[in-house]
Amino acid sequence: MLLGRRPERIRLDGLLAGARASHSQVLVVRGEPGVGKSALLSWAARQVAPARCLRAAGVESEVDLPFAVLHQMFLPGE
């Protein structure tokens, strides 16, 4: 359960509404480790139903691998 973060949730709700209207957007979520970025994004991912949410995470050790994020999203089991 996500506690608080009302301004951030309102911002993400707006972004998701845009996505439902086929407007692509980018939002950068920044903050110190442990501040709640992943929790906020998990909340946002739960709001997209019945649409599907694809998630991927950048890993520093994969910085030289081309298309590593695309592999995460579209090659399940890889």
Ligand X SMILES: Nc1ncnc2c1ncn2[C@@H]1O[C@H](COP(=O)(O)OP(=O)(O)O)[C@@H](O)[C@H]1O
7 binds ligand X (CB under 6 A): no
CA distance 36 to 61: 23
Q: How far is CA 42 from CA 9, 37, 62, 66, in A?
A: 11, 9, 23, 26
CA distances from 17 to 6, 9, 20, 29 (A): 16, 12, 5, 18
Contact of residue 11 among Mg ion, ligand X, none (CB under 5-8 Å per partner type): none
Draw the binding track, 16-45, toward ligand X (x: CB under 6 A; -: no contact): ---------------x-xxxxxxx------
Find the binding residues for Mg ion in span 31-70 (CB under 5 A): 37-38
In the complex, the residues that contact Mg ion under the rule CB under 5 A are 37-38
Residues that bind ligand X (CB under 6 A): 2-5, 31, 33-39
